[in-house]
Amino acid sequence: MTDTETPKIVSSLEDDTGERMVDILHHADAGHFTYVEYHRTSDESDEWRQVEDDNAKTYKTKFAAYTAATRNVEWMMD
């Protein structure tokens, strides 16, 4: 396996409006988890835009990535 392998989505969490989402990703080749936040691009589109995070970090477990997302993604704190 290489570190360029596509990560697997292990959880997808959406807000109540369906306009925002966080994916928890498992990078099996590297042995860690990350999370990525997305916002819908428009009301009439099913396209999602990734919210860039210059401080993206890796986590040892799915739970650790989920916990970090709930602390760092503003809408998940509500």
Kindly report the CA angle at 4 between 13 and 69, in degrees rounded to 5?
Answer: 25
32-45 pLDDT, tens digit per residue, is: 999 999 998 876 66
Q: Please indicate, yes or no, whether the overall pTM of this predicted structure exceeds 0.85.
A: no
**Residues 4-15 as b or e (16 or more Cβ within 10 Å = b):** eeebeeeeebee
40-78 pLDDT, tens digit per residue, is: 887 666 789 999 877 779 999 999 999 999 999 999 987
